[in-house]
Amino acid sequence: MKKKNLLNATIFTLAFTFGVSMYAQKEKTVTVGGAPMYPSKNIVENAVKSKDHTTLVAAVQAAELVETLQSKGPFTVFAPTNAAFDKLPKGTVETLVKPENKATLQAILTYHVVAGKMNASAISKAIEKGNGKAVLTTVQGGKLTAWMMGADLYITDENGNKAKVTIADVNQSNGVIHVIDAVVTPKA
């Protein structure tokens, strides 16, 4: 009986593993930070796997926004890379993740989020409709301006800082991520 149970468990494990791997193969993934981003996973589940977004993940945790970004959404997230955070003045990130600066950190992070799912095509259409610019209202309440330079999509914050979308349309179960090369900030 033990051998039969072991055989059944082995067959179940192999079938389950094969089924999961077949399902993963059917998903159209995008590689970000060396890891595949699965459309069946939420923003946080995917972001934690990207080696290029460890600073963003740490900031989201410090700001206590993990639960929000795991919720149904949908959200459009403009996700700065570690290199984008490295462009900030020295000590900025370390200061922002301190508990006493949580409100400021939350404001900056939610400024990178737009309610709803806007893929690059939808943003491009909004830019066309807006005669070259589309104003997006962030979850923080501020405005980002989307625009194109050639084939490249950019966003500009309220302070005139711009960020280039380096990887667009990273689909998530609760929205979409667009990887950006700079941190954008709301008006002070």
The domains of the chain are located at 28-180
Q: Select the more confidently predicted residue: 129 or 15.
A: 129
For residue 23, pLDDT beyond 70: no
The reported pLDDT for the residue numbered 24 is 45
Over residues 143-171, the mean pLDDT reads 95
**Alpha carbons 8 and 164: distance in angstroms, whole number:** 53
Choice among 28-32, 75-79, 84-88 with the minimum mean pLDDT? 28-32
Q: State the pTM of this model.
A: 0.84
The reported pLDDT for the residue numbered 26 is 67
Residue 188: pLDDT band (50, 70, 90) is confident
Considering the chain, what is the average pLDDT of its residues?
87
CATH of domain 28-180: 2.30.180.10
Q: Select the more confidently predicted residue: 9 or 93.
A: 93
Residue 21: pLDDT band (50, 70, 90) is very low
**Alpha carbons 188 and 171: distance in angstroms, whole number:** 31
CA 37-110-183 angle, to 5 degrees, is 75
- Sequence-ordered list of residues with C-beta below 8 angstroms from that of 84, at least 6 positions apart, any chain: 163, 180, 181, 182, 183
Task: Kindly give the pairing relationship between strand 75-80 and strand 175-180.
Answer: parallel
Over residues 19-27, the mean pLDDT reads 52
Over residues 160-170, the mean pLDDT reads 95
- Sequence-ordered list of residues with C-beta below 8 angstroms from that of 122, at least 6 positions apart, any chain: none
